[in-house]
Amino acid sequence: MARVECGYAHPDEETVSLEAIFHALSDPYRLRIVRALAASAVPMNCGDLSFGRPKSSMSHHFRILRASGVLHTASQGVEHMNSLRREMLDRRFPGLMAAVLGEIGHSATTEASARPLTPA
């Protein structure tokens, strides 16, 4: 059962699947969103995470990240604030986000994120 909060549906912990998370992380822009949120001490609004891409394209990426369980969106007035569901992800798939974010050993992921991105 998904929880609907301020118009946004977020999957419950027990329904979050590894396959859906991998699909969410298989796109370079979605991976950039995840890395930016991981590096931020506070939730970020969608505008701060647009990377110069059209709003419709980024809305699609946010929807997929949210549906997979990776990201949480909350409405604050007219803003939509995003944060990683890091605690839940660490509980459900230990070590996964640490590996994704290059927190373990050397960070080959930094090289990957420095690559030129092709349009989504």
Identified binder of its own copies from the candidate list 4, 114, 115, 116, rule CB under 8 A: 115
Nearest-approach distance from CB 75 to its own copies, in angstroms: 29
Cα–Cα distance measured from residue 46 to residue 13, given in angstroms and rounded to the nearest whole number:
23
Task: Count the residues in the chain.
Answer: 120
Q: How far is CA 92 from CA 13, 44, 47, 86, 108, in A?
A: 8, 24, 29, 10, 24
Task: Considering the complex, state which of residue 31 and residue 71 has its C-beta at the smaller distance from its own copies.
Answer: 31
Identified binder of its own copies from the candidate list 67, 81, 96, 120, rule CB under 8 A: 96
Q: Decide if residue 98 touches its own copies (CB under 8 A).
A: yes
| Non-local CB neighbours of 98 within 8 Å, separated by 6+ positions | 90, 104
**Are the C-beta atoms of residues 98 and 29 closer than 8 Å to each other?**
no
Nearest-approach distance from CB 23 to its own copies, in angstroms: 4
Nearest-approach distance from CB 21 to its own copies, in angstroms: 8
Task: Considering the complex, state which of residue 26 and residue 75 has its C-beta at the smaller distance from its own copies.
Answer: 26
Q: Decide if residue 92 touches its own copies (CB under 8 A).
A: yes
